[in-house]
């Protein structure tokens, strides 16, 4: 949330992962009020759990899509 307003000051209208990564890296380097993330912090653990859950959901969706595609290919 602290970095989001800074994206307007960077050139390029496209929203890309590379641009987002550059903005995040620049802001992390320049801003001193941002805190370090430590592996044992509660927030870090919660973020890791949420990220892992999201990765699992994406994998489930991919498997379902592949099964449906295989079923359609077997019919036609």
Band of residue 57 on the pLDDT scale cut at 50, 70, 90: very high
pTM above 0.75, yes or no: no
Q: Which of 31, 40, 22 is nearest to 2 (CA)?
A: 31
Side-chain half-sphere exposure of 22, counting CA atoms within 13 A: 11
Band of residue 9 on the pLDDT scale cut at 50, 70, 90: low
Domain ranges of the chain: 1-34, 37-76
Band of residue 46 on the pLDDT scale cut at 50, 70, 90: very high
């Amino acid at each position: 949330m602290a970095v989001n307003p800074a994206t307007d000051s960077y050139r390029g209208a496209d929203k890309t992962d590379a641009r987002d990564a550059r903005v995040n890296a620049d802001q992390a380097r320049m801003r001193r009020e941002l805190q370090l993330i430590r592996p044992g912090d509660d927030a870090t653990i919660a973020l890791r759990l949420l990220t892992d859950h999201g990765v699992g959901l994406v994998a489930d969706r991919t498997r379902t899509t592949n099964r449906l595609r295989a079923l359609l290919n077997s019919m036609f």
